[in-house]
Structure 1
Amino acid sequence: MNALRVGTRQSQLALTQTNWVCQQIQHIHNDVTIETVKIVTKGDRILDVALSKVGGKGLFIKEIEQALLDGTVDFAVHSMKDMPAEMPEGLMIGAVPVREDVRDVVIAKDGCKFQDLPFGAVVGTSSLRRSIQLKAARPDLRIVPLRGNIDTRLRKLRDGQEGLDAIVLAAAGLERMGWAEQITERIPVDLCIPAAGQGALAIQCRSDDRATREILLALNDAPTEKAVQAERTFLGRLNGGCQIPIGAHASFVPGEDGLLEMIAIVGDTTGARILRAKATGTDPVQLGHTVADQLFAQGAKEILASVREELNRS
């Protein structure tokens, strides 16, 4: 009998994702028992400040990673988009399960699609990446910061808090919660490029824990892993976090054996300048570097430097 402990945030979505992973493991390894250890992260404690003001990626995982390093838990389940490109020595991603829908979605109070929202409509989102792309498509919109778990955000929309006409969330969370019927519209990827890793889960473990690694490996989906690897390589090159509007999405080209296509953006915090790049390749790591180099050639380093300088002043 193998007894494992899994670390997770205690939000409804995090627990739903973790329970799904545990069920998959126990379906394959019916002699494994798993205890869930709920951990509160910095991102869970600070709910009244926009993510871009609180800090970079890692807000929702550092305490869980420490529990892994301390041996308090054996593996952890994260939303991949919360994972920094670099992780602490001694930890690794043991598996990347099959990805959910990568797109962002609109949930509108009156059922309007994005392009049909009233002039000057108030749209809530916690993401700078979403904000600048939505404003680029609809400069008339008023984008307001929106924090909290999915159910909290949905309630704020229903209650009309801050005059919200619509909110924008990731499709994957709603799908996993069984709330997809609330989606008004799935936003095309070319209109709003997702966050690197969006829609995917990261199952993290200790690098030297071979027994746990062996158990987790059965959950790995190779196409998802490769697409996410391209996106995270790109993210690492730009050293991007929640404070910087960065999007990246890689997917396999239908009918082209092993060929990945990746699109990406980087912008300033106002959306006044948004750079875009696109490339194809068969090597995920090389593709991530190629797209990053395209954006650097367009001036991405200057944008990144100015955003960091702006954050240091605030």
Structure 2
Amino acid sequence: MRTVTVGTRQSALALTQTNQVIEQLKLLAGNAGIECRFEIKKIVTRGDQILDVTLSKVGGKGLFVKEIEQALLDGTIDMAVHSMKDMPWERQEGLAIGGTPVREDPRDCLITRGGVALADLPGGARVGTSSLRRAAQLLAFRPDLNIESIRGNIDSRLRKLETEGFDAIVLAAAGLHRMGWKDRISEYLSPDICIPTVAQGALGIECRADDTFMLDLLGKFEHADTVLAVTAERQFLGRLNGGCQIPIGAHVTVRDNPAGGRLLEMTAVVGSPDGSRLIKEWGQGSDPVKLGDLLADKLIAQGADRIIAELGG
């Protein structure tokens, strides 16, 4: 029986989603007659250590994955459970995404004191978010809001809503769903108002590229529509060379194609941090790579590359 060591960040959400993945892998392994047991190794990343400034000011890519990927390369862990939105476009040589399970709800959501909706927040309301993408789109919709930075894990940010005088905070719905905290959500933000970040709600299960045992096991954990959507969104991100210092988002839905196969519909946005300029586009296609490139090219034609250059992207 092989022991599989699973690397993860040590937040409550990271541990919860890692345990959920492990339970599903146990079932898949059992059904396939594969004998293995799992143990968890907690790893502190640079992104977890720096909490006093926004991620856009920290700079760099892979703030929440580099140390975990190094542990994979060193052989101290055998697989890692990542939030795909944290993974940079450039892949680490020697590693592979072996499995991508079904995606959770990719939308952002609003948590307010008293359950107030976004449209009903009073002028000047203090809204906490660490994301330039969220801030830009919220200000484009409600320029009268006071957007302030808030860092920390989702449980600590929920506490800050009560203890630091915020009227609202914005979080990824997926994290609250996985934690069993749907009842805390005041409103799901439509992509018409706030397009999610690339790959939000999706998990990527990473292993070494030469580990055939893990690749075989994780390959049973692949959700085809999630792979299509995430591939298109990440291709868009890579074409624009975007990172957390850029207000950039993309959202893909997948449905039956009348001509056969699957049809992908994608909306994407690049904007200025103050929300004064948002460039949005829509497109559809059956090839996720071509669709990601198409949306990037459409935004570049309208000046998205200049916005990214100005912000140091």
Q: TM-score, normalised by structure 1?
A: 0.96
Question: How far apart, in 1, do the equivalents of 2:92 and 2:61 lie?
Answer: 13
Instruction: Say what the alpha-carbon RMSD is for the aligned residues.
Output: 1.1
Deviations 1:212-244, CA, capped at 9 Å, x for gaps: 110011111000011000000000001111101
1:7 aligns with 7
Aligned to 1:308, the other structure's residue is in SS state coil
Which letter does structure 1 place at the counterpart of 2:170? V
Of residues 186, 191, 197, the one that matches 1:195 is 197
The yes-or-no answer on 1:61 pairing with 2:88 is: no
Which letter does structure 1 place at the counterpart of 2:235? T
- Structure 2 vs 1, CA of residues 77 and 241 (structure 1 numbering), >3 Å: closer, same or farther? same
Residues 269 and 307 of structure 1 are in contact (CA less than 8 Å); yes or no, is this contact kept in structure 2? no
Residues 7 and 37 of structure 1 are in contact (CA less than 8 Å); yes or no, is this contact kept in structure 2? yes
Of residues 207, 210, 213, the one that matches 1:211 is 213
Residues 13 and 177 of structure 1 are in contact (CA less than 8 Å); yes or no, is this contact kept in structure 2? yes
Range with bigger deviation, 130-139 or 30-39: 30-39
Of residues 153, 157, 160, the one that matches 1:153 is 157
Which letter does structure 2 place at the counterpart of 1:139? P
Residues 99 and 199 of structure 1 are in contact (CA less than 8 Å); yes or no, is this contact kept in structure 2? yes
Question: How far apart, in 1, do the equivalents of 2:256 and 2:182 lie?
Answer: 26
2:127 aligns with 123
Aligned to 1:296, the other structure's residue is in SS state helix
**Residue 254 of structure 1, CA deviation:** 5.4
Question: How far apart, in 2, do the equivalents of 1:193 and 1:57 lie?
Answer: 21
Question: How far apart, in 2, do the equivalents of 1:220 and 1:8 lie?
Answer: 20
Question: How far apart, in 2, do the equivalents of 1:282 and 1:122 lie?
Answer: 42
Question: How far apart, in 2, do the equivalents of 1:254 and 1:101 lie?
Answer: 19
Deviations 1:41-63, CA, capped at 9 Å, x for gaps: 00100111111111133110000
Residues 44 and 60 of structure 1 are in contact (CA less than 8 Å); yes or no, is this contact kept in structure 2? yes
**Residue 119 of structure 1, CA deviation:** 1.1
Residues 47 and 147 of structure 1 are in contact (CA less than 8 Å); yes or no, is this contact kept in structure 2? yes
Residues 105 and 186 of structure 1 are in contact (CA less than 8 Å); yes or no, is this contact kept in structure 2? yes
**Residue 255 of structure 1, CA deviation:** 6.2
**Residue 271 of structure 1, CA deviation:** 2.1
Residues 138 and 275 of structure 2 are in contact (CA less than 8 Å); yes or no, is this contact kept in structure 1? no
1:25 aligns with 25
Question: How far apart, in 1, do the equivalents of 2:255 and 2:296 lie?
Answer: 20
Question: How far apart, in 2, do the equivalents of 1:247 and 1:66 lie?
Answer: 28
Q: TM-score, normalised by structure 2?
A: 0.96
Question: How far apart, in 2, do the equivalents of 1:56 and 1:226 lie?
Answer: 27
2:169 aligns with 167
1:312 aligns with none
Question: How far apart, in 2, do the equivalents of 1:107 and 1:255 lie?
Answer: 36
**Residue 82 of structure 1, CA deviation:** 0.3
Aligned to 2:226, the other structure's residue is in SS state helix
Aligned to 2:148, the other structure's residue is in SS state strand
Question: How far apart, in 1, do the equivalents of 2:94 and 2:230 lie?
Answer: 21
1:236 aligns with 238
Deviations 1:257-295, CA, capped at 9 Å, x for gaps: 411000000112222221111100000000000000001
- Structure 2 vs 1, CA of residues 228 and 5 (structure 1 numbering), >3 Å: closer, same or farther? same
2:117 aligns with 113
Question: How far apart, in 2, do the equivalents of 1:187 and 1:69 lie?
Answer: 39
Question: How far apart, in 2, do the equivalents of 1:22 and 1:181 lie?
Answer: 25
The count of residues paired between Structure 1 and Structure 2 equals 307
